[in-house]
Amino acid sequence: MKKDFMFTSESVTEGHPDKLCDQISDAIVDRFLQHDQCARVIAECAVAHSIVFIAARFASNITIDIPNIARQVITMVGYDHRTFNSKTCSIVTSLTELPGECELPELEELSDEEIEKIPARNQVTVFGFACDQTPAYLPLPIWIAHRLARRLASVRLQKILPYLAPDGKTQVGVEFRDGRPSRIHSITVSASQNQAGEPEFGRLQSDIREAVINPVFADEPVRPDRKTEIFVNPEGPFLIGGPSVHSGLTGRKNAIDTYGEFARHSGAALSGKDPLRIDRVGAYAARYAAKNVVAAGLADACEIQLSYSIGKSRPVSIQVETFGTGSVPDTSIAALVEKHFDFRLAGIVKQFNLRSLPMAVKGGFYRKLAAYGHLGRMDIGLPWEVTDKLQLLRHGAGLP
């Protein structure tokens, strides 16, 4: 990447139709795993005006009310307008029950030899990325875009700006100098309203600046300056928003779920999949390794690529790229990563306790990931965000 450039990333609130679909899909995964930790499930969702379509394939010893889960999520997100709400929307399902017994009944008791025998059943290349631009080791553009989106949702829920509707979008442009964030180039906030003309447009713009933008940047080291362009609803009033205005689909916001396009991602949806899908959990494992590399001081930025083939328990390729910021060669970091991190499917699920988390976390676990990013979250104790390999990596690299 160039040393001097401008980069933009966007985020959306939980009321965006794509994120509504992600939350419904992950709420279904949560519900299965809360009652059957061996359940296998793939759930996808699409929404449009007054219609929710859910396609799910599952293998489980329990049955759940999938339409009711969808209605619960719609209510929790805040859609109660006559054009789209949980009571009157039509829910269409296509459900396929798959045969098979529980594949890994006692995962926590598996030996290393048994873990080695459990292969990936999907072929995918996943990426993990971390950098030292923010406390969460995320790129600054997506970090601020998420903070703005969360604040936009918060002022609605706290009735600070009670006229806001659930749908919203943010975008942040950051200028980089010599590879480091230098200034905020632009900020865009699109906020939906419950009623036309309430409030009038000038007040809306002022409210968003004072209640959303200013608080977010109050503790950021890189802040807007007098040349920063700020746009609030640049296309004019945004009435209601959500599925009554534009459609949604599970897995369509992969950049928002990961690194805001600042780094690569696999393109595979993260939401709506149980933990035995390597295209989901492999992305978490790659992030875990990349974050530990940067936190250990081995590099200012690190991307880890894992390639999986069907029938193999381990990645067939592990690649490390530090973009010239490494304190030791990339080949040495790759060797350390392969030595100290378990990238096998069963090993990832076991280490992160991924099948038990929906029961351990109040309100479900995976649905909480479906909005504001699966990675770099500081509001949830995510197992792949811990930096517990620092000393191992530093010692292996010959650093004090």
SS3 of residue 396 by DSSP: helix
Beta bridge partners of 168: 191
The pLDDT of residue 198: 84
The answer on pLDDT for 333 being more than 90 is yes
SS3 of residue 378 by DSSP: coil
The answer on pLDDT for 280 being more than 90 is yes
Alpha-carbon distances, residue 102 vs 57, 128, 229, 353 (angstroms): 15, 30, 55, 17
The answer on pLDDT for 110 being more than 80 is yes
The pLDDT of residue 111: 87
The answer on pLDDT for 101 being more than 70 is no
Reported as a pLDDT band with limits 50, 70 and 90, residue 104 is low
The pLDDT of residue 287: 98
Average pLDDT over residues 325-329: 96
Give me the amino acid identity at 320. Answer: V
Taken in order of first residue, the domains within the chain and their CATH numbers are 5-12+140-243 (3.30.300.10), 110-133+277-356+370-396 (3.30.300.10)
**Would you say 349 and 107 are in contact if contact means Cβ atoms under 8 Å apart?**
yes
The answer on pLDDT for 51 being more than 90 is yes
The answer on pLDDT for 1 being more than 70 is no
Q: Kindly report, residue by residue over 184-235, the tens digit of the pLDDT.
A: 999 999 999 998 878 999 999 999 999 999 999 999 999 999 999 999 999 8
Distance CA 44, CA 53 (A): 8
Alpha-carbon distances, residue 246 vs 26, 27, 34, 109, 324 (angstroms): 21, 22, 32, 47, 42
Reported as a pLDDT band with limits 50, 70 and 90, residue 237 is confident
Alpha-carbon distances, residue 83 vs 53, 87, 143, 310 (angstroms): 17, 11, 33, 45
The pLDDT of residue 109: 77
The answer on pLDDT for 133 being more than 90 is yes
Burial class (CB in 10 A: 0-12, 13-18, 19+), 137: buried
Reported as a pLDDT band with limits 50, 70 and 90, residue 155 is very high
